[in-house]
Amino acid sequence: MLRAELGYGVTENFKLAISGPAVFTSERLPPARVSAFTPMGGDFEVLALWRFHRQDLDVGKRFESTAIVGLLEPGPQRAAGAGPGFYTAAVTGLASRSNYVWLGSGYQRYRDGSGVVSYSAVYGYRPQSWRTDYPRWDWRVFGEMTGEIYQAGRSSTHQVFAGPSVLGVYKNYAVSAGVQLPVQMESRERVRFAINVAYFF
């Protein structure tokens, strides 16, 4: 699957984003998320992100929290009758020049009653030698854990994935990639991976 996303910062603390998939398989993708604001499923999304808390602790060090709400429109992969849905989430964390710690949780639900509760934890590290500016790349490495509880009718499944990822920033460009393996699995998924390329206007 490929996914295009366009976001606009209305203010410093309020952002709107819209995204849509291009899916190349007939098999249904799970309604999972690679991050609180980047889905891995086949839904079309419109999101609003509000950073309602920010505390600057030192130069290059901050503690902040963001609330997210959005509307979901299932793509052609979803079963007939699934209908539109909504998404809500919150993330909070500490970011500094060298360390990153983030926690998040979200919930998405569709008209047919199915839904997903998700949660995540991330730790990132940026070594001193990697803290460079343009014309050199600026890199970080992360360890990420994602848990998901799928609900459909009276049944539910719970699975947890974990793995490493990397993020590089070069001028107005960012490239990230990650892989996650199952820690607790109740589906046929053996591995998840994602590559993301971003351009900042």
pLDDT in tens, 20-38: 988 887 777 777 877 777 7
CA distances to 7, 123, 159 from 94, in Å: 23, 10, 26
Q: Report the domain count for the chain.
A: 1
Identify the domain containing residue 8 by its residue range. 2-199
Cα–Cα distance, 138 to 60 (Å, whole number):
14
Q: What is the pLDDT of residue 8?
A: 97
Q: What is the pLDDT of residue 79?
A: 60
What is the domain-level CATH number for residue 21? 2.40.160
Q: What is the pLDDT of residues 39-73, one digit of tens each?
A: 888 889 999 999 999 999 988 899 999 999 999 99
What parts of the chain have a pLDDT lower than 50? Answer: none
Helix (H, G, I), strand (E, B) or coil at 13: coil
Q: What is the pLDDT of residue 39?
A: 81
Q: What is the pLDDT of residue 131?
A: 85
Is the model's pTM score more than 0.75?
Answer: yes
Q: Is 113 left (phi over 0), alpha (psi -120 to 50) or beta?
A: left
CA distances to 22, 26, 122, 148 from 105, in Å: 26, 29, 12, 10
